[in-house]
Structure 1
């Protein structure tokens, strides 16, 4: 019972979370304010882009950001609405309507919460790097395409695919009137890119939004704006849901939960590698993110995840404890109560410009260059994942990417595994030609076992076979079963089989599957090659006499 409680206690907040706060509180507060300024335009933009509105994006950044900061497993993770989540939510809003988002947020949050309690946090480490970079690049393409309709003041024609919606928007836009929002997008992008080069510490997205909004207001430019925002945080409320709705949204909720878990854990892992701010607890991170999405849903927000870009800004700004992420949420809360009227006049095209630049930055030419130069299989997995992300679905893309990567790894393991006949040690003796010494290398698993071991059966003129297993790195149940079959077949032919060099970690599986039991005598299992060869020669001597 004590062990269970200790395991559960590790998933909850503790005073240790703030043990360094007395030394770092100034840096944490400064970093929190900086991240809050950076997060404001992104929260608004992601809310609008997902279809639930700027208010929902801002609520999510506040509520989810605060809950995840307190309950999450990372000391410097910043959470809120993200571009990847927008990619998943936009089709849900289109198919089920805005009210469904709160329901999905709560359902997905519960699933992520359960994943944390079930200690599934380390599963993200099984996702190969080319798959991660592939779906990141795919997300970047989708986010960019999702902003095209707002950038040209048009609509996507009801297309759930971002590329098709972008094409429809460009064709059906009211030209030349659409040139004005396009000019706003270009201006925002130019300001962000220029500031990123000459003054990288200044939040370029915030400055770009301020400049464009001031100009649009002074000259009364005919641009669509965010519109009225609430001047206070709404009271939490349980969204309406019935069994039919829960059943219909089960699939989307699983997809959202998978994405929330994957992106949050990846972000936390990146944060831990950026600075010495302490390790992160992957299971606790899932608990925190699950509670964050549930909380956001109760306040009318959207599912949240750890945000890699905002987390990176947080770390680079000097954050050392989770207080910085808490301050970030409080800064955004202050915006709701103090500056919602000012925020309401921000042009939607300006938010599109911010997200377009963010999307372009997600597609790293350096990463593409590295992955394509590494190997053709990694390049194929990368592009396959990216294309499926854009054309089908993000979660499907990750699953197919993992399957493809696993296939190529197994193929490589199979090709690098083999069997080699060796010359018997010592001087040649009479009868040695009737002894076959075979060295197995690599992995004796389902992808290679039959091919490898069948080569031993091809030798028909042997009286004794010595199988060396000391160089085998892996033996699965298929390999052990196939080895037992080969031993049985050889013994039926009258061939004595000796096995040499079984590793300790392989004894159990070979014993359970009968490979050792198939030997003619228990003494036919050796640790020393010299002893095995001497025993083999004694067999051929007896036959000769």
Structure 2
């Protein structure tokens, strides 16, 4: 069904509608998340060296408290695998009751961080260090749970676990091995089963199946021991005994790791749905309250968990009610079904944790670290966490990251090569400078430049992200010396010399769009008065594309060989002032662009299918769910059509034939179309009034063309005077604010539900 009025700010739903939505979407989703959360919570408690009931307490506290007060509506919180090593170390040093107090204090620290609006700064940690930390935690989990799967006990360090694996492997418990292997086999096979079967969480199926099998055939496998009723575990908190520095270090470690993991998870969850974005400061505050509650009740530390959160989104949750209800179900389960929990083999939970730990070591993270030149930081962090402890390993990674940042600030790559001969027969030398050109790197550059023979032609290409005054002065002096010796120097994007200096300075201080990506753009393209045969701007652009863009884009193009899935059909004017990929920050494969004079669409029934064909191809063959009509101010085509109509004579020939398609829009404008009236009220010229009415009329024509297809139609208008986009809402165009742009992104990426 087509829609011509995209509502970016829907009214607040009525309580009855809210309740209906919760019952329809959130209740089923909460049950699915509950089924995933129970076995994970039990397994994490075992891996942490904590009472098994502590995992259920944390799951309930995280779901209810963080769900109520957090800033990420669809994130689900609970005990996380990322903290198992930390908690195990704290339990070994301070004891379980003191660990609960440390969790409580860590939560209070998180509340302070959230109240002081420092939540977003936790994301300043290098992604490479975070992924390496998670990988090291995953390796530690696997090593520890291999001991449990062999019938032994998990140890406090990776080295101790390695040693005990060798010992336990000599006299393994066959029943424990079978229980662990059974879970692993089920979890490996589950993704390959039909979708209808996979609707039930694989973790739940694996634990239930092995619990039933173990009851009949594996009596030798050790079972979970809750140690009494769940209510007996509540309130088991004691002040930690130890030096204030050691206690403060434990509190800070739990608070920081829990905060970073929760915030990273919230950001990741935002990418999975099109609803409201997370408020990171509020989310940190909610996580702090959840940790305080969990610690006070005798539970594990709580974080936002990506496994449960992604399950929540996939299951169709719409509001925070799903996370809250999942915590309620966990609480009911823990109070009523204690005897059932104590039938689960420990080795079965070990198999579940081995799969979880393996999932934390992601090949994609390793590939990204290698591509960024940070593989050594990744490896150093992993080794540091495994050999020492988590906080020291992460600190090693952070120090290594700072060293790399400093190195990149002072490091510059200089390529000097002979590039053939110039038109006058002299040698042409090409010099490319990559990186940051500060006074620390200037001596190296001067040495390389001085090695170029005198009297030749030098093209100095500064591909730098920073050039300090000292570097400018040195380049200025070298260029003057070289030119005085009979040579020629052409500097691209230097902003150093001559009458073109002000223009080049504007190029360097252009908006936050890399000039290299838009080199042929005449607004900031270099003009070289020294060049006797100036290149056409298009030729310069092609050269720049082949020299700078082909290599980075090769992977993008290879990915498009088998087809493309554009986000939208984008119908706009042929005017060179409108650049669809620029105003939408899109690239290859993103838009199916259709350009016509005046963004006009032939009337229904017209034999001209120049617009209908690509639009229907995008919708029917490529599955595009959004069609955009984008007009612009000061439109030449609309100006010609309006003047011709007033003169009573439309030009003959192809141009006149095409401009006749604008006649209905002009007639609607004269008849007082509400969009035109709103534009007039905003002080727009008559041409712009007609242009905006034309967008609305063209949307109606496309609606007739698309019929009852499930497609969203969006009207945009580019104001050439300030470069801002406006969107058609109701009977008027309004400028998009940042918040509305976020909602527009959701609008364009989400296929609307059929009415």
- Shorter chain as normaliser: what TM range? 0.7 to 0.9
Tell whether the 8 Å contact from 2:26 to 2:318 is kept in structure 1 after alignment.
yes
For residue 192 of structure 1, what is the aligned residue in structure 2? 187
Tell whether the 8 Å contact from 1:142 to 1:162 is kept in structure 2 after alignment.
yes
Q: Does residue 448 of the first structure (1) align with residue 441 of the second (2)?
A: yes
Change (3 A) 1:162 1:34: same
For residue 321 of structure 1, what is the aligned residue in structure 2? 319
Give 3-state SS (helix, strand or coil) of 2:411's partner: helix
Bigger CA drift: 246-255 or 323-332?
246-255
**Deviation string for 1:144-168 (max 9, x for gaps)?**
1111222222235xx5322432431
- Larger Rg computed on CA atoms: 2
**Deviation string for 1:9-28 (max 9, x for gaps)?**
xxxxxx99x99665354211
For residue 634 of structure 2, what is the aligned residue in structure 1? none
Cα distance, 1:443 vs. partner? 2.6
For residue 298 of structure 1, what is the aligned residue in structure 2? 296
Cα distance, 1:141 vs. partner? 1.1
For residue 48 of structure 1, what is the aligned residue in structure 2? 46
Tell whether the 8 Å contact from 1:76 to 1:325 is kept in structure 2 after alignment.
yes
Change (3 A) 1:417 1:107: farther
Q: 1:181 aligns with which of 176, 179, 183?
A: 176
**Deviation string for 1:31-71 (max 9, x for gaps)?**
11111111101111111111111111111111122211112
Change (3 A) 1:57 1:482: same
For residue 267 of structure 2, what is the aligned residue in structure 1? 269
Bigger CA drift: 94-103 or 388-397?
388-397
Q: In 2, Cα distance between the equivalents of 1:344 and 1:446?
A: 68
For residue 383 of structure 1, what is the aligned residue in structure 2? 379
For residue 389 of structure 2, what is the aligned residue in structure 1? 393
Q: In 2, Cα distance between the equivalents of 1:119 and 1:189?
A: 42
Change (3 A) 1:394 1:234: closer
What is the aligned length?
485
Tell whether the 8 Å contact from 2:113 to 2:119 is kept in structure 1 after alignment.
yes
Q: In 1, Cα distance between the equivalents of 2:216 and 2:54?
A: 28
Q: 2:368 aligns with which of 352, 357, 371?
A: 371
Structure 2: any 5+ residue segments left out of the alignment? 1-11, 418-423, 425-430, 455-459, 485-494, 510-525, 531-755
**Deviation string for 1:514-544 (max 9, x for gaps)?**
xxxxxxxxxxxxxx99999xxxxxxxxxxxx
Tell whether the 8 Å contact from 2:211 to 2:344 is kept in structure 1 after alignment.
yes
For residue 94 of structure 1, what is the aligned residue in structure 2? 92
Cα distance, 1:311 vs. partner? 0.9
Tell whether the 8 Å contact from 1:59 to 1:233 is kept in structure 2 after alignment.
no
Cα distance, 1:185 vs. partner? 0.5
Cα distance, 1:267 vs. partner? 0.8
Tell whether the 8 Å contact from 2:83 to 2:257 is kept in structure 1 after alignment.
yes
Change (3 A) 1:246 1:412: closer
Change (3 A) 1:322 1:380: same
Q: Normalising by structure 1, what TM-score?
A: 0.74
For residue 5 of structure 1, what is the aligned residue in structure 2? none
Q: In 1, Cα distance between the equivalents of 2:85 and 2:466?
A: 42
Tell whether the 8 Å contact from 1:102 to 1:297 is kept in structure 2 after alignment.
yes
Q: In 2, Cα distance between the equivalents of 1:449 and 1:21?
A: 67
Change (3 A) 1:293 1:29: same
Q: Aligned runs of 1:60-139 on 2, under 5 Å?
A: 60-139=58-137
Q: In 2, Cα distance between the equivalents of 1:451 and 1:253?
A: 48
Tell whether the 8 Å contact from 2:114 to 2:284 is kept in structure 1 after alignment.
yes
Q: Does residue 151 of the first structure (1) align with residue 146 of the second (2)?
A: no
**Deviation string for 1:493-513 (max 9, x for gaps)?**
xx9xx9555858999xxxxxx
**Deviation string for 1:290-345 (max 9, x for gaps)?**
22111111111121111111111111111121111101101100112211121122
Cα distance, 1:184 vs. partner? 0.8
Q: In 2, Cα distance between the equivalents of 1:333 and 1:447?
A: 62
Q: Does residue 350 of the first structure (1) align with residue 343 of the second (2)?
A: no
Give 3-state SS (helix, strand or coil) of 1:301's partner: coil
**Deviation string for 1:82-131 (max 9, x for gaps)?**
11100111112112221221122122222322222333333344344443
Change (3 A) 1:447 1:183: farther
Give 3-state SS (helix, strand or coil) of 1:443's partner: strand
Q: Normalising by structure 2, what TM-score?
A: 0.55
**Deviation string for 1:465-490 (max 9, x for gaps)?**
xxx99x686558xx4577789999x9
Change (3 A) 1:328 1:445: farther
Q: Does residue 217 of the first structure (1) align with residue 215 of the second (2)?
A: yes
Tell whether the 8 Å contact from 2:253 to 2:391 is kept in structure 1 after alignment.
yes
For residue 285 of structure 1, what is the aligned residue in structure 2? 283
Tell whether the 8 Å contact from 1:73 to 1:285 is kept in structure 2 after alignment.
yes
Greater RCO (Cα-Cα under 8 Å, separation 6 or more): 1
Bigger CA drift: 23-32 or 86-95?
23-32
Q: In 2, Cα distance between the equivalents of 1:395 and 1:37?
A: 32
For residue 36 of structure 1, what is the aligned residue in structure 2? 34
Tell whether the 8 Å contact from 2:266 to 2:278 is kept in structure 1 after alignment.
yes
Give 3-state SS (helix, strand or coil) of 1:302's partner: coil
Q: In 1, Cα distance between the equivalents of 2:240 and 2:387?
A: 31
Q: In 2, Cα distance between the equivalents of 1:253 and 1:417?
A: 48
